[in-house]
Chains A and B, each alone.
Chain A
């Protein structure tokens, strides 16, 4: 454990410095301008440092630093609005390792960062994970269109949720995306840096990773883990917004005093601080639950999801207001966070869906010392 803690501290420390230098406003703005953008240079740089395999167990070829390292890295990425498919790759590796049936070649590519993963689990017009997926997998292969998924524009592999025709039950499928039956539909989005695309499947080749009840429980495992790591990304982003708003409020003067001296501003910022600390608390508890209480992880993940969405949106939205006119210009960085807070709020299922999950599993949230 001591070694792990040291390695963890080293890698996250390094991440903070690297991202601060590499992720410039200019770079972020150029990504925002074109649909399906992806910062491949940064990806290759971080892959070279082993980030893609940092959380993956050693037996699967990773560094075995656990979900804690993924969450810490996600926090750093969130703080500067960098978009890398770290969570997607790590979660897909975990899902394939769970299924345990000869995915070692795919796992290897994902751990090395040679391939990128996308979790294309959502149907068009559904804000959560459906029990009756719209994609169909049958004798003619995989057919249908997913909702927009982050990194689908650049991914080599997708995890999708489909109805298995012959058995009338849902299945989780692994799809190699560089094949004839797959079309990537790049749309202009609020946050083009996410490398997002809808996936259009026409008789595509796919491999079932899990079917029926197995698919449902694996899907929830995937969702919970992705949501927990994303919560750290959201808390990281929210923290940067609060920091930026406070810095500006100390500096900007009106009526002969800094705007931060007015209760209209300082109380707004105190409320954002409270939301962020609540979200951070839920995220930490959810991360701990992955180890200590896996049966309840979904409930803790739901609490982390709901509070992270609230905190990030609150912080990103009001940060622009605190900045006033300058905050609505293309030049300012505040809109990067405003965009990211909303795209992260939608990507893994929206707040109404996760509130429902939380209420359905509320009895799993236990308290003790």
Chain B
């Protein structure tokens, strides 16, 4: 894609968003219940699908945009400037549906993909369990053969948006007698099947998207298997790698450094403007400089994508640094607010309110790869350092203590 094409695409996306987004964002969302907000989100996604802005890289025949990776990155960047109800569909269209495109038959795709792209149906991803998160291959949920399908028994945990999901992709253990990575299989499953029970888990703060999901003798036809029996770990890794370059906004969903500077201008420390305080200035300088570095990395990644090549591994540091930074800046902002920094305002958004930005920070450092896992990934994949010691390597899963 030439630079002119890129500019033209950006200009039309910007204009379209400027015209359409206000009715679905900001004030339009204030005071809505979660159900109303989700309904608004479905309408927004539907509107986007009519204009080629939903699932931009997916084929048009299924309702996608038929566009390129760079168009998707550009549009998402611009869309992030508005506070739109898109979060409900991030996982659905980000991972399970693209995996379906890879593994399902034409017939299945025609039936299941269009409703997902239009926001009529939502897909979730059932990976983590109580004793398997960062170490996904340690999962214990079982699938046992039953006629032309499988019976699923066990529990999944931290499943985002399961409470609204129509379908899910799931990794389960089909063979406990082989080493842990080798005994897993991947399916897609109807979340309305008999025996599926979803319970919302309240978060430390904010509306909760996370759930525990119980499977009691749930039947899944073998036709819904994705990949080979025992090949589930590979498919799960493909799922996690599918997002070549995650497009999060610069403040990782939190409040911008510009708003922190504004706050420092109108608050005082020991009678002096907070903006004159050395500690505050240091935080501003370090935050702004770090953001500048991330912007540069992001711009080069975009150029790589536009040129049809893979972006470099340095993109991995965006979430690692950004989430910690959001937590730190929000906490110092509360310091500046004084004791009233503890007040939680009804309906406040983390993009507008420091207290909200702070209290909703911790999950960002866990979901999508904890700080520790991200560091391991950088150390092993980029720096070529050896894997951690793994005492369970090569041992059959049912022989592990």
Knowing A261-B386, A274-B317, A303-B289, say if A369 contacts B6 (CB, 8 Å).
yes
- The answer for the CA separation of A249 and B380 in the assembled complex, in Å, is 12
Q: How far is the CA of A352 from the CA of B285 in the complex (A)?
A: 10
Interchain CB contact under 8 A, B292 and A266: no
Alpha-carbon distance A266/B388, docked complex (angstroms) = 9
Alpha-carbon distance A260/B297, docked complex (angstroms): 26
As a 0/1 sequence over residues 354 to 366 of chain A, the CB contacts with chain B under 8 angstroms (1 = contact) are: 1110110010010
A84 to B98 CA separation, bound complex (whole angstroms): 54
Interface residue count for B (Cβ, 8 Å)? 43
- Specify which chain A residues have a CB less than 8 angstroms from the CB of B293 in the assembled complex: 277-282, 303, 307
Task: Assess whether B286 is in contact with A273, with CB atoms less than 8 Å apart.
Answer: no
Q: Among residues 92 to 111 in chain B, which have CB atoms less than 8 Å away from a CB atom of chain A? A: none
Q: Are A358 and B375 closer than 8 Å at their CB atoms?
A: no
- Interfacial chain A residues near B376, Cβ < 8 Å: 263, 266-267, 270
B251 at interface (Cβ–Cβ under 8 A)? no
Q: How far is the CA of A265 from the CA of B302 in the complex (A)?
A: 32
Q: Contacts A260-B385, A266-B385, A362-B284 hold; do A273 and B292 have CB atoms under 8 A apart? A: no
A267 — which chain B residues lie within 8 A by C-beta? 372, 375-376, 379
Give a binary string over A105-144; 1 marks a CB under 8 Å from any B CB, 0 the rest. Answer: 0000000000000000000000000000000000000000
Q: Which residue on A lies nearest to B275, using beta carbons?
A: A359
Q: What separation, in Å, do the CA atoms of A367 and B321 have in the docked complex?
A: 19
Task: Identify B289's interface contact among A257, A352, A358, CB under 8 A.
Answer: A358
* Interface presence of B290 (CB below 8 A): yes
A281 touches B387 (CB 8 A): no
Contact at A285–B289, with CB atoms within 8 Å? no
**What is the chain A residue whose CB lies nearest that of B303?**
A369
A250 CB-CB contact with B under 8 Å? yes
Q: Is the CB of B286 within 8 A of A306?
A: yes
Cα distance A359–B289 when bound, in Å? Answer: 10
Whole-angstrom CA separation of A140 from B286 in the bound complex: 45
Residue of A nearest to B6 (CB): A369
Compute how far the CA of A310 lies from the CA of B293 in the bound complex, rounded to whole angstroms.
13
Rounded to whole Å, the gap between the CB of B399 and the closest CB of chain A is: 22
Contacts of A278 in B (CB 8 A): 289-290, 293-294, 297, 317, 321
Mask, B359-383, CB within 8 Å of A = 1, is 0000000000000101110111011
Interface residue? B333 (CB, 8 A): no
Q: Are B382 and A273 in contact (CB under 8 A)?
A: yes
Instruction: Tally the A-B contacts, defined by beta carbons under 8 Å.
Output: 131
Q: How far is the CB of B242 from chain A (nearest CB, A)?
A: 23
Q: Which residues of the partner chain B approach A306 to less than 8 Å between Cβ atoms?
A: 285-286, 289
A294 interface contact, C-beta 8 A: no
Q: Smallest CB-CB separation from A358: which chain B residue?
A: B285
Q: How far is the CA of A349 from the CA of B81 in the complex (A)?
A: 37
Chain A contact residue count (CB 8 A cutoff): 42
Docked CA distance A261–B386 (Å): 5
Assembly CA distance A249 to B387 (angstroms): 12
> Which residues of B sit under 8 angstroms from A302, Cβ to Cβ?
285, 289
With A263-B372, A369-B6 given, is the CB distance from A257 to B285 under 8 Å? no
Please provide the chain A residues from 221 to 272 with a CB less than 8 Å away from any CB of chain B in the complex. 242, 246, 249-250, 257-258, 260-263, 265-267, 269-271
Q: Are A246 and B385 in contact (CB under 8 A)?
A: yes
A249, B383: Cα distance in complex, Å: 10
Smallest Cβ-Cβ distance to B290: which chain A residue:
A278
B295, A261: Cβ atoms closer than 8 Å: no
Judge if B384 is at the interface, Cβ distance under 8 Å: yes
Interchain CA distance A267-B383 in the complex, whole Å: 11
Contacts of A284 in B (CB 8 A): 296, 300
Give A269 to B375 CA distance when docked, in angstroms.
9
Q: Are B383 and A270 in contact (CB under 8 A)?
A: yes
B292 touches A303 (CB 8 A): yes
Q: Which residues of A contact B6 (CB under 8 A)?
A: 369
Q: Give the distance to chain A from B192, nearest Cβ to Cβ, in Å.
A: 42
Q: How far is the CA of A40 from the CA of B60 in the complex (A)?
A: 67
**Which residues of chain A are within 8 angstroms of B296 by Cβ–Cβ distance?**
280-282, 284-285
| Most chain A CB neighbours (cut-off 10 Å) among B278, B282, B288 | B288
Residues of A within 8 A of B290 (CB): 278, 307
8 Å CB interface, A285-326 against B = 285, 300, 302-303, 306-307, 310
Residues of B within 8 A of A273 (CB): 317, 378, 382-383
* Separation of A122 and B296 alpha carbons in the complex (Å): 31
Check if B36 is an interface residue, CB within 8 A of chain A: no
Chain A residues positioned under 8 Å from B388 (CB to CB): 261-263, 266
Q: Which residues in chain B, 236-294, are within 8 Å of chain A measured between CB atoms?
A: 261, 275, 278, 281-282, 284-286, 288-290, 292-294
Contacts of B386 in A (CB 8 A): 250, 257-258, 260-261
- Nearest-CB residue, chain A, relative to B288: A362
A303 and B288 within 8 A (CB) = yes
A365 CA to B258 CA, complexed, in Å: 11
Would you give the shortest CB distance from A158 to chain B, in whole angstroms?
Answer: 30
Q: Does B120 contact A (CB under 8 A)?
A: no
Across the interface, do A355 and B285 meet the contact criterion of CB distance under 8 Å?
yes
Among A273, A274, A354, A355, find the residue whose CB has the most chain B CB atoms closer than 10 A.
A274
Option from B282, B321, B379, B382 in Cβ contact (under 8 Å) with A260 = B379
Given A277-B297, A278-B293: A266 and B380 within 8 A (CB)?
yes
Residues of A within 8 A of B385 (CB): 246, 249-250, 258, 260-261, 265-266, 269
Contact present for B261 and A362 (CB under 8 Å): yes
> In whole angstroms, what is the CA distance A53 to B7 when docked?
38
Q: How far is the CA of A257 from the CA of B382 in the complex (A)?
A: 20
When A and B form their complex, which 5 residue pairs have the shortest distance between CB atoms, in order from nearest? A281-B296, A278-B293, A355-B285, A266-B379, A281-B293
What are some 17 contacts across the A-B interface (CB < 8 A)? Answer: A246-B383, A250-B384, A260-B385, A263-B375, A266-B388, A267-B375, A271-B375, A274-B321, A278-B289, A281-B295, A282-B292, A306-B289, A307-B293, A356-B285, A359-B284, A362-B261, A369-B6
